[in-house]
Amino acid sequence: MGNGLPTERFVEKTIKRKATEMDRADFLAQCFKLTQEAEDRFESIWRRLSLSVDWNYRYSTLSPEAQQTSQWSFIQLYRSGRAYAQVAPTLWCPDCQTAIAQAELEDKALPTLFTTFTFRLPDGKSLPIATTRPELLPACVAIFVHPDDKRYTHLTGQEAAIDSRAFSAQATIQVPILADELVDPLKGSGAVMCCTFGDSTDVRWWRTHHLPLRAAIGRDGYMTTLTGPLAGLTIMAARKQILQSLDEQALILQQETIEHTVGLHERCGTPVEYLQTRQWFIRVLDQKGRFIEAGRQIRWKPEYMRSRYEHWVENLQWIGVSHVSAYLVFRFPPGHAAHVAHYCWLHERNCRLIRV
Ligand SMILES: [Zn+2]
């Protein structure tokens, strides 16, 4: 068993206390104790099952040795210029006010209002947009359509606009209409807003299409000054006001309640947001050849796992950023402890690829 969020959650649930409410040393002591007990239980079960395991190789990524290796590795990466801090989108819980990892998300299908409203095209015609997050309208930076969607192909490259005095510091929001394969032409009107940020697709589009950043929601979960008269409102209150404004402008075409999957923070049940925060990244994408070469030094059982590993390495894109607990193993520069990139490194000793 190892360090990281699953361990932190496991310990918090077992002792019924939050890590943030405890002294770090006390919490770490609990982690060591409980993971050791769990490891012993697993070993005894696996022994009873007669699993063929060389128990000499049992180790914990919570051990002082693993901590030293992690810290040593991070220092090497920092010195070689591979570790760098950057402001980047991350999952954020507005209630706990912390960056959170994908592993802490709980997907839940909730009834959500799906609203179709219109943007205005240069020729005066309407462009229908369907969204479950109208409160993100002030953060809209583009409208996307599918490149093969014949209803819209003639519109790509043009701009669409909406009067936004009631929900933005700007009088008009004017954005480009762009084409991208990730759009589902069958969902809603087939034209979708890209807001910074509503979901991971928005983050991807923002990166790949080099779009500007407009943050409508602050770290505290309240609307920012970007939203003009809505600044300081909660997300739900802003949603209500924007829908009311769209209704008054007679821009709403259709509304229906749908089952929509919402990402909740498993700790507190709050819907998560994507916000810009400062975090650490590790440059690894130029090392794919070395990772594949190292993989070929290993005897894989079963053999096909090697090609699975190689495909995984080849397809690594921008590596998703997550946080590694501030309370556990990884102690990084002050102020950045909670924001460490997911990265891959070759373990010095046994040359296995490990995801930290
Ligand atoms: Zn939370």
How far does residue 98's CA lie from ligand 1's centre (Å)? 7
Rounded distance, CA 120 to CA 128, Å? 9
Distance in Å, CA 194 to ligand 1 centroid: 25
Per-residue model confidence (pLDDT) at position 326: 39
The radius of gyration of the chain's CA atoms, rounded to the nearest angstrom, is 24
Identify the three-state secondary structure at position 70: helix
Give the pLDDT score at 338: 35
- Cα–Cα distance measured from residue 178 to residue 165, given in angstroms and rounded to the nearest whole number: 24
CA of 100 to the centre of ligand 1 (A): 8
- Ligand 1 centroid to Cα of residue 67, in Å, is 27
Token duo for residue 76: 């090497």
* Distance of CA 136 from the midpoint of ligand 1 (Å): 20
Count CB-CB contacts under 10 A for residue 49.
Answer: 8
Which string of DSSP letters, residue by residue, matches 151-189?
TTGGGTT-EEEEE-TTTSSSSEEEEEEEE-TT--TTSTT
CA distances to 89, 147, 273, 281, 282 from 285, rounded to whole Å, are 19, 29, 27, 11, 9
Distance CA 128, CA 255 (A): 12
- Cα 62 to ligand 1 centre (Å): 25
CA of 35 to the centre of ligand 1 (A): 24
- Provide the pairing of β-strand 252-265 with 105-120: antiparallel
First-to-last C-alpha distance (Å) of the chain? 13
Rounded to the nearest whole angstrom, what is the distance from the C-alpha of residue 92 to the centroid of ligand 1? Answer: 8
Query: Residue 287 is encoded by which pair of tokens?
Result: 């090392």
Q: Which two tokens stand for residue 224?
A: 């920012």
Read off the DSSP letter of residue 137: G
Structural domains for the chain: 105-267 (3.90.740.10)
What per-residue confidence (pLDDT) applies to 24?
A: 86
Model pLDDT, residue 284: 81
CB 353 within 8 A of CB 291: yes
C-alpha 133 to ligand 1 mean position (Å):
20
Helix or strand run (H / E) with residue 114: strand 105-120
The pLDDT assigned to 200 comes to 87
Can you give the pLDDT of all 356 residues of the chain as single tens digits?
Answer: 445 667 887 898 899 998 878 898 899 899 999 999 999 999 999 999 999 889 888 888 788 888 888 889 889 988 999 888 878 888 888 887 778 877 778 899 999 999 999 999 999 999 999 999 999 999 999 999 999 999 999 999 999 999 999 999 999 999 999 999 999 999 989 999 999 999 889 999 999 999 999 999 998 889 999 999 999 999 999 999 999 999 999 999 999 999 988 999 988 899 999 988 887 777 888 889 999 999 999 999 999 999 999 998 888 765 544 444 334 444 444 334 333 333 333 222 222 233 33
Question: How many whole angstroms from 288 Cα to the centroid of ligand 1?
Answer: 35
Q: Considering the entire predicted model, what is its pTM?
A: 0.65
**Amino acid 351: pLDDT:** 27
Task: Check if the beta carbon of residue 28 is closer than 8 Å to that of residue 325.
Answer: no
CA dist., res. 274 & res. 268, Å (int)? 17
Return d(Cα 281, Cα 260) in angstroms, integer.
32
Residue 3 is predicted with a pLDDT of 53
CA-based nearest residue to 339, from 325, 353, 328: 325
Separation of CA 105 and ligand 1 centre (Å): 10
How far does the centroid of ligand 1 lie from the alpha carbon of residue 321, in Å?
18
> What are the backbone dihedrals phi and psi of residue 201, each rounded to the nearest 5 degrees, phi first?
-65, -40
Range list of β-strands (E), 188-339 = 191-195, 252-265, 273-282
Question: 167 C-alpha to center of ligand 1: Å?
Answer: 27
